[in-house]
Amino acid sequence: MKNSSRFRQLLIGSTYTWMVVLALIPYLILFIASFLLPGDDQLVQSGLSFSNYQHLISPAVFSMARSSILLAGVAALLCLLVGYPFAYILAQSSAKVQPLMLLLVMIPFWTNSLIRTYALVMMLKANGVINQVLMALGLIEMPLQLMYTQTAVFIGLVYTLLPFMILPLYAALKAVDPRLVEAGRDLGANWLNTFFRITVPLTTPGIIAGCMLVFLPALGMFYVADVLGGARSMLLGNYIRDQFLIYRNIPMGAAASVTMTVAMGLMLLLYFFASKRLNREAMQ
């Protein structure tokens, strides 16, 4: 028995080491750098300063934050609209089909999202697959302008992030006690009524989890907007990348990154408490 406990310690220990070396320490360095100033001779210069954070309070940064939040919010909403019916059908289908459908949701996920974004370019461009099919079918005469539009950006975000929405929704829908739905039906409620008054409220934790899982990564996925949207507007992700790579202002980029992480952390905390409360209410 002693051996297996040592194995367990090793396993847990290596996970913690991994987290500390590859996540915690780099993040602490970033955090410290955010209070320094860019130097002439070195990449950073010593001395404590809050000026990086003060610089973040500017109309340009607010405008970028607004665009980022709007983009991520709409993407989460679209994912919900597409993902909920899918998860619903998935949860209703036979136990044999379910693993297969889940597998189909997961497979694209194994490919790097940047590569999938470039693959979408091949679909959406003027002489791309979609336009060629539509033209061959005689549905359109001129190619549609799909690339470099807001629509293309949302297609890209929804396509990339949909599994994050489907999986928690599926889990929540599976957990709904079918007897409750049946009871509703027996008491004379039609399908729409049972759906909105029983299924949806019972799956609220799944809806919130899915929205968070889509919204938070979408905030940082500036490259989807760059590649599919034509990079005409600037998002927070662009701003952070440019501070590091173009202006060599590592402290400024670090400050922006830390602020964004803290904001995301707060949202997660909020989600944590909200779901806890929901669970408690459900128990009662």
* Footprint on this chain of other proteins (rule: CB under 8 A): 38, 40-43, 60, 63-64, 67, 121, 125-128, 143, 145, 147-148, 226, 230-234, 239, 242, 245-248
d(CA 67, CA 63) in angstroms, rounded, equals 6
- How far apart are the C-alpha atoms of 245 and 137, rounded to whole Å? 46
Nearest in space to 109 (alpha carbons), one of 75, 159, 71 = 159
- Cβ proximity to other proteins: between 4 and 127 the closer is 127
CB 252 → other proteins: shortest distance, Å?
Answer: 10
Q: Would you say 143 or 176 has its CB closer to other proteins? A: 143
- Shortest CB 22 distance to other proteins, Å: 18
Residue 188's Cβ-count burial label (10 Å; 0-12, 13-18, 19+) is: exposed
Alpha-carbon span 148 to 226, nearest angstrom = 9
Q: Which one, 3 or 42, has the nearer CB to other proteins? A: 42
**Helix crossing, 25-33 with 250-283: angle to 10°?**
120
Q: How far is the CB of 51 from other proteins (least distance, A)?
A: 13
Phi (first) and psi of residue 37, to 5 degrees: -120, 150
- The residues, any chain, with a CB within 8 Å of residue 249's CB and separated by 6 or more, are 38, 243
CB 13, min distance to other proteins, A: 12
Least spacing, CB of residue 282 vs other proteins, in Å: 44
- Looking at the Cβ atoms of 98 and 233, the one nearer to other proteins is 233
67/261 with CB nearer other proteins: 67
Residue type, 59: P
Pick between residue 117 and residue 203 the one whose CB is nearest to other proteins: 117
- Name the minimum Å distance from CB 147 to other proteins: 6
Helix (H, G, I), strand (E, B) or coil at 88: helix
